[in-house]
Amino acid sequence: MTTNTLALPQVVSRAEWLVARKALLTKEKEFTRARDALNVERRRLPMVEIEKDYVFDGPDGKASLLDLFDGRRQLLVHHFMFDPSWDEGCPTCSFTADHIGDRLQHLHARGTSLVAVSRAPIEKLEAYKGRMGWKTPWYSSYGSDFNYDFHVTLDPAVAPVEYNYALLPGSGAPPGGWPHEGFGVSAFLRDGDRVFHTYSMYARGGDVLMGTYNWLDLTALGRREDWEQPVGRSDGPAMSWLRRHDRYDR
């Protein structure tokens, strides 16, 4: 339920607050240890060799998946939702891209490259990238199977519609029809000229990449989206408030 009257926390003494804060700190530490253990499991996942020759269009011409590593050992791919018929990239993916920034040196220092990949033609990607002021390398996968194989472009005419490791029920087309674009992030590892797929995540798995959300989660009012509790702190459905960063009312 959307409301303009937000439910505020209870007012207590500093001593009472400190008791509650320490109790929450115990749970936060448990969560941190559980997250560390989960990260260990993620690193121990088996991997699959990529045997298909994907070809991408980049600002400097054609590129292979191996080229996207730019000589580094690891590669992260932001599957950016940008249908070839669109003139702008997805607002949510734009929100994610805003948090990457232009300081990729920290990733590079750990032998890891990061790129964005979309189905829109490279000319549209370069124009939108310039408008938004991003520095992350961006490649077009148009004409290849890449988006379909990694289940971020969904089209029942190409393959069973699967997203976040589940077949989607029903045969009705989404708003805008097929194909339908989805968000995701994939990780790859290089061993010489051999490339391996090690990990992909979708949907709310991307929350951890959206720094604004993580900052808001530290506040009393939170994200103010309708899935949050307690009821009464919502300004609308998830991400309904979100705009491209040059589209907020100034």
> Can you list the residues of the chain whose pLDDT is less than 70?
1-6, 170-171, 229-234, 250
Domain assignments of the chain as residue spans, ordered by start: 48-208
CA separation for the pair 234, 221 (Å, rounded)? 9
Specify the pLDDT at position 98. 93
CA separation for the pair 125, 243 (Å, rounded)? 18
Pick the CATH number of 48-208 from 3.40.50.2300, 3.40.30.10, 3.40.50.720, 3.30.420.110: 3.40.30.10
152 closest CA partner among 85, 65, 208, 83: 83
Q: pTM here?
A: 0.90
**Could you tell me the two tokens for 188?**
């790859």
Specify the pLDDT at position 3. 47
Specify the pLDDT at position 109. 94
**Could you tell me the two tokens for 42?**
């993620």
Specify the pLDDT at position 174. 85
**Could you tell me the two tokens for 59?**
């600002």
90 closest CA partner among 230, 239, 250: 239
Specify the pLDDT at position 144. 96
